[in-house]
Chains A and B, each alone.
Chain A
């Protein structure tokens, strides 16, 4: 995470079809988000238990909105803007309305990767709230680590249909994150 150029290059490679580059990028961003979120929560006096939920919600937003990154610009300001938006949104939903500026924590971009402390709490509930088929596909790919093709064979769907349903499930997750909580 120390070389800013690196992230932009990874996203560019991902756009050209490099799945491994995309996975590396997401994991790097996740560990950066973890340190930003945990400092943001500490500054707002919120329990640290929310941390992994913020990481996942932001990662999901970054994934779904990845087309809004302009390749001629560096990736980091774009990432920071999305992280700030999601952190502020999260805190506001929990009644914290003060200004949150993650630029204060920008130095954490160079921080060593933070290990994942525990699973997100809300993610499990939100996942359980998805329609049966969507939930089974997310579980198959994420938790059981299967490929889209294997999940398709098991569920009697084509690989394309699995991908379409997966995309719907991810969008539904993003919406559920924003709406289901108070």
Chain B
């Protein structure tokens, strides 16, 4: 087959353009999170004091933090999906760091040093380490599937970004179950819980996202 002949087929196929990448990934996160919400509803459920919790600054900042992480991970994912990687997404990490630093400073100021350890260890650490990876599985699978249509400059890094986004979505869900709202706890255990998911994403990405 001559190249000019191949071009004829490509031109006929042009009209069948798929939907924009960003939208496909948005749907993947939503679809995956819906599955995780079912697991959440059946096995975990929201914390009993959810309504009063909204009135506390720790819980509110926990939500703001995980949502900011979700936005940053989404920006990273979209950047990694392209063959030419840009660094602009890194700016979206800045709000996450600022929120983390300011809540941490507030916590350390308010809480006497003797109680820091208790706040750090919390009461749900093991729960957090299992629930977040569990809730991340379905979003990760859906994201990797959507990412297969993309052309990542680095398949491993794109997979890791999918893992980060899936963990952030999982963290948003888990935040409504977990009683531990101290920034000391959230920053430590939520990050640790995301690590295996990011690693899994990178490993799967290396295999599945090659093009």
| A interface, CB within 8 angstroms of B | 14-15, 17, 19, 22-23, 26-27, 30, 52, 55-56, 59-61, 63, 65-70, 73, 77-78, 81-82, 85, 116, 119-120, 123-124, 127, 138, 141-143, 145, 147-148, 163-164, 166-167, 169-170, 174, 178
Report A-chain residues with C-beta under 8 Å of the C-beta of B151.
61, 65, 68, 82, 85
State A9–B193 Cα separation when bound (angstroms). Answer: 46
Q: Provide the B1-15 mask, 1 if CB < 8 A to any CB of A, else 0.
A: 111111111111111
Q: Do B211 and A30 have beta carbons less than 8 Å apart?
A: no
Whether B38 sits at the interface, judged by CB under 8 Å, is no
Check B110 for interface membership: any CB of A closer than 8 A: no
Taking the nearest CB of chain A, how far is it from the CB of B158, in angstroms? 11
B residues near A (Cβ < 8 Å) are 1-18, 20-21, 81-84, 149-151, 153, 210-211
B82 and A68 contacting across the interface, CB-CB below 8 Å: yes
Cβ-defined contact, B12 with A116, below 8 A: no
Contact across chains for A166 and B13 when beta carbons are under 8 A apart: yes
Distance of B126 from chain A, by nearest CB (Å): 40
Q: Which residues of B lie under 8 Å from residue A30 when comparing CB positions?
A: 3-4, 7
A19 CA to B8 CA, complexed, in Å: 10
Shortest Cβ distance from residue A140 to the other chain B in the assembled complex, whole angstroms: 9
Name the 10 nearest CB pairs between A and B, nearest first.
A81-B83, A65-B151, A142-B5, A123-B1, A63-B10, A26-B7, A142-B9, A68-B151, A81-B84, A119-B2
